């Protein structure tokens, strides 16, 4: 079945324009750069396709030169959108390289007069931008944390089409394509159809990726402490209960360290809250350096932190707590004696695997540490 090319051209203009406007609207809601570049890509595709439509009515030069420049800039914006999504800056030379090559080649009479040469070069340049777009997603696949495969597959198929076109499509005069009855070669009509499907598909999957990443960020923010970047109380309770359930199933002991910075109010009053914030950040960094990847660490109160150590006995827990206490005391943020921490320890062998009960027991041990002079590690069994 031969698709009616003049109709496809007009439909393509409106499809690209509509998708571009909707994408720009989505960008305006959250100012996500990826959607901004993608919206520009679609609007440029609409403009470039519109310039193809006006060929054959005395504007062939404008359509041939400017139209293809606009379409190549559209392909470059697709690549730029993927760069923005993977947190890379736009490449200005790369954006204009394709249209620059096109303009230079159009200065060569032999190239300008050869339809097949123009089709081949344009297809190669469009496919090159497709390869670059796919590479952006593939190189960052381990850090994206979103479903990137639909976008990658769509881009590769789009790239494959232009790669095939570069070798198989000899080109056709636009007058033949726009002749009454839609006379023309199937490759040109299929190119328009494929471009519309790609525009709709890539807009949808990119919006889905942006939405998924935003949801992951909101979720991470809900479970992290804004100042120190470590987990908050909610995260500690969630991850801690899972760690304890795994420990109980494997019949392994775990240890809870409850840490409270000594004289923190005095520190804030003497040096100001900005310095207090620096101390909280420094303590979180010191503690993280002393823990293993499988341990759970969070800020559960103003100057109170909790560590849950997997597969740890009393001896191991005291060793970790001492490393934390000594490393914190050695920091040179303030005068000697201002930085110290009291740590209460409880072991699941003594208190069971219920996290709320462990916190209650560890709080008692911490109270004993404070009562006995602070700057010490204290367990209930050693009281």
Q: How confident is the model at residue 345 (pLDDT cuts 50, 70, 90)?
A: very high
Nearest C-alpha neighbor of 297 from the set 274, 324, 318: 324
Average pLDDT of the residues in 99-105: 94
| Range from 2-16, 41-55, 71-85 carrying the lowest mean pLDDT | 2-16
Distance of alpha carbon 116 from its chain centroid, rounded?
A: 41
Nearest C-alpha neighbor of 40 from the set 95, 87, 86, 93: 95
Nearest C-alpha neighbor of 39 from the set 98, 3, 80: 80
The strands making up 296-299's β-sheet, listed across from edge to edge, are: 296-299, 304-309, 255-261, 341-347, 377-379
pLDDT recorded at residue 219: 85
pLDDT at 190 over 90: no
> Which residues are catalytically annotated?
303
- CA separation for the pair 6, 314 (Å, rounded): 80
216-237 burial, b at 16+ Cβ within 10 Å, e below that, comes to eeeeeeebbbeebebbbbebbb
C-alpha dihedral sign at 163, 164, 166, 171: negative
What letter would DSSP give residue 375? S
Tens of pLDDT, residue by residue over 138-183, are: 999 888 889 999 999 999 999 999 998 888 876 655 555 555 444 4
pLDDT recorded at residue 362: 94
What letter would DSSP give residue 339? -
pLDDT at 35 over 90: yes
Tokens, residue 351:
């208190």
The 3-state DSSP class for residue 296 equals strand
pTM over the 0.85 mark:
no
Tens of pLDDT, residue by residue over 48-73, are: 988 877 765 556 677 788 889 999 99
CB atoms under 10 Å from CB of 140, counted, come to 16
Radius of gyration of the chain (CA): 31
- CA separation for the pair 375, 263 (Å, rounded): 10
How many Cα atoms are found within 13 Å in the side-chain-facing hemisphere of 365?
28
Nearest C-alpha neighbor of 342 from the set 283, 265, 257, 259: 259
* Chain mean pLDDT for the chain: 88
| Range from 126-135, 211-220, 289-298, 321-330 carrying the lowest mean pLDDT | 211-220
Contacts 24+ apart (CB under 8 A), 154-160: 154/198, 154/201, 154/202, 154/205, 155/78, 155/82, 155/130, 155/202, 156/130, 157/198, 158/130, 158/194, 158/198, 158/202, 159/127, 159/130, 159/131, 159/133, 159/134
pLDDT recorded at residue 167: 84
- CA separation for the pair 321, 137 (Å, rounded): 43
């Amino acid at each position: 079945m031969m698709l009616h090319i003049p109709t496809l051209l007009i439909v393509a203009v409106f499809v690209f324009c509509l998708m571009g406007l909707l994408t720009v609207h989505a960008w305006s809601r959250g100012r996500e750069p990826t959607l901004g570049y993608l919206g520009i890509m679609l609007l440029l595709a609409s403009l470039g396709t519109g310039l193809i439509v006006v060929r054959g009515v005395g504007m062939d030069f404008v359509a041939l030169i400017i139209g293809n420049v606009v379409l190549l800039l559209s392909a470059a914006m697709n690549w730029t959108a993927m760069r923005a999504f993977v947190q890379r800056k736009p490449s200005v030379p790369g954006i204009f390289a394709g249209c620059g090559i096109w303009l230079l080649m159009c200065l060569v009479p032999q190239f300008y007069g050869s339809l097949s040469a123009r089709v081949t070069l344009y297809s190669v340049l469009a496919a090159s931008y497709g390869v670059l777009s796919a590479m952006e997603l593939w190189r960052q696949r381990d850090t994206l944390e979103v479903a990137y495969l639909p976008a990658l597959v769509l881009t590769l198929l789009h790239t494959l089409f232009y790669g095939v076109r570069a070798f198989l499509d000899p080109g056709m005069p636009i007058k033949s394509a726009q002749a009454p009855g839609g006379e023309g070669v199937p490759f040109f009509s299929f190119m328009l159809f494929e471009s519309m499907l790609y525009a709709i598909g890539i807009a949808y999957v990119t919006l889905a990726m942006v939405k998924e990443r935003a949801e992951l960020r909101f979720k991470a923010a809900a479970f992290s402490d804004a100042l120190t970047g470590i987990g908050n109380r909610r995260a500690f309770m969630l991850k801690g209960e899972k760690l304890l359930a795994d420990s109980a199933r494997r019949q392994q002991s775990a240890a809870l360290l409850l840490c409270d910075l000594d004289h923190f109010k005095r520190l804030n009053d003497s040096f100001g809250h900005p310095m207090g914030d620096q101390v909280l950040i420094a303590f979180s960094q010191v503690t993280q350096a002393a823990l293993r990847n499988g341990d759970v660490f969070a800020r559960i109160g103003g100057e109170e932190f909790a560590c849950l150590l997997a597969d740890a006995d009393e001896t191991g827990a005291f060793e970790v707590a001492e490393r934390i206490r000594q490393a914190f005391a050695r920091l040179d943020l303030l005068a000697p004696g201002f930085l110290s921490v009291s740590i209460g320890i409880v072991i699941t062998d003594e208190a069971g695997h219920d996290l709320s009960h462990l916190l209650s027991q560890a709080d008692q041990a911490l109270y004993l540490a404070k009562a006995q002079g602070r700057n010490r590690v204290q367990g209930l069994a050693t009281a």
